[in-house]
Structure formats: C-alpha cells, structure tokens
Amino acid sequence: MKTNIPSSWSEVNLGDGMRILSNPITTGQTIDEYNEGVLNLYVDINDMTLEERKDGLDKILNLMSSNPRTEYNREFIIYGKNYMLDTNLKDLTWGWFLDMETIIANSEEGNIWSVMDKVIASLLRPVTYSGTWKKTPVIEPYNSDTLLERADLFKKALTINDVFGISLFFCLIGMTYMKKITDSLLPNSVNDLTQTSEQTNTQKFTD
C-alpha cells in the first residue's frame, strides 16, 4: 500500500496540521489510540496489514515526538505569486484586530489551531516590489474580503514548519497589543499609587 504518511512537520500541510493540533489527546485516551487517530487521517488503518500499520504508527510517533520549526520565513512564492509576512505592527488596523477577535472567539473550544489558516492569511499577504531596483516591498493592505480565499490556498500550499514560527509571531502581537492596552489604562493609577506610597513613607520618617 502506497501512502504519504508524514514523519516530520515539514510533510504536514496546514490543513492536516490544523486537524491534528486542534484535537489534542483526551482524558482516558492512550498515546497509541491518539496516534492511530492521526494515522487514520492519511489512510484507512482497517485496510492496512499489520506490518504497514506498525510502519505507519512509527512515522506518526516520530512526527508527534518532534517539534515544528520555530524560525519563520518572511516571504513565500505560491503558484508564482509572492506573499510576505507583515511584521510592522503599525500597519495592523483596528479592523484587523476586531476580525482576529471574532475569528478567535469562533475557534473550537478556544484552540487557536482550529482557525490558524485565517490567522496566517491575515498576516501573510500578497507583496509587490517598487523603487528603482524593484527592491522595496509593498505588502497588500489587510482586506477581510480576500481572507478566506487566501486561507484555503494556504491550507494546501504551506506546511506546519512554514507557519509555526508565524503563529508564534501572532502570539507576540497579542502580547504586545494587550501590554499597550494595559499601559494605556494603568500608568496614571500606578503613578498615583506610587506617589501616595512615597508620600506616606516620607511622612512616617519625618514624623
């Protein structure tokens, strides 16, 4: 039986990876049972011989025991078209943040991997080059109308190794965004508390 059973994350496209990573092992489920479920994504295990099944489970075990690549490529060429990761947080609009909030809210049980195709598609957008030597990248502005089409493309064309680093970058955006909100809400209160505390301590010493 000829099958394309992956043994590393470089062989798992985003679509299959989403199904694997958004369905973690459940309580009471053994690792072997879980790995059989992953293997069944690629081939009907009931049609496999015992030897084929063992070889297939060995590959899945290697896959699940390995870590995806954490560094990311900023640019990809897919079917002759260039796409670039927008790493400039200043380019991310309020509409982008609202869309991401909605997308994450609609994820399965809060597992972001169930919507990772849309997350990646929001950040990895078509790019053209301008300037005298065509070296200045101009990334297409975020547009929710083209998001789903690009997400479907990426599910087939990109691997988990391609996107895992980008997913970490997305988490960084989230932390940076939340810090900015927190900083915008707290500074005056924190300063007031600090000043009050200092004044109280000074008063104690002078008394």
- Domain contains 48: yes
Q: What letter would DSSP give residue 108?
A: B
pLDDT at residue 190, rounded to an integer: 46
- Report pLDDT for 110: 81
Which of the listed residues 65, 88, 103 is the one where a domain comes to its end? 65
Give the model confidence (pLDDT) of 185-201 as tens digits.
554 544 444 444 445 44
Residues 108-142 have pLDDT tens digits of 888 889 999 999 999 999 999 987 777 889 999 99
169: left (phi over 0), alpha (psi -120 to 50) or beta: alpha
pTM of full prediction above 0.85 = no
Structure confidence at residue 167 (pLDDT): 86
Asked whether residue 1 carries a pLDDT value surpassing 60, the answer given is no
Report d(CA 201, CA 132) in Å as an integer: 63
- Given a cut of 90, whether residue 12 has pLDDT beyond it is yes
Does residue 192 fall inside a structural domain? no
Quote the radius of gyration of the chain (alpha carbons, Å): 23
Range of the domain at 25: 9-65
Q: How far apart are CA 66 and CA 53, in angstroms?
A: 20
Residue 43 lies inside a defined structural domain of this protein: yes
Given this model, what pLDDT does residue 194 score?
44
Number of Cβ within 10 Å of residue 89's Cβ equals: 11
The answer to whether position 70 is within a domain reads: no
Lowest mean pLDDT among 4-8, 56-60, 167-171: 167-171
- Say yes or no: 139 and 86 in one domain: yes
- What total number of domains does the chain contain? 2
pLDDT recorded at residue 170: 81
Answer whether residue 165 is part of any domain.
Answer: yes
pLDDT of residue 199: 52
Q: How far apart are CA 144 and CA 166, in angstroms?
A: 19
Each residue of 139-185: pLDDT tens digit? 999 999 999 999 999 999 999 999 998 888 887 776 666 565 455 45
Q: Do 171 and 108 have their domain in common?
A: yes
| CA–CA gap between residue 201 and residue 168 (Å, rounded) | 44
Q: How far apart are CA 195 and CA 179, in angstroms?
A: 22
Q: How confident is the model at residue 7 (pLDDT cuts 50, 70, 90)?
A: very high
pLDDT digits (tens, 9 = 90+) for 64-89: 999 998 888 899 999 999 999 988 87
Per the domain annotation, does 45 fall within a domain? yes
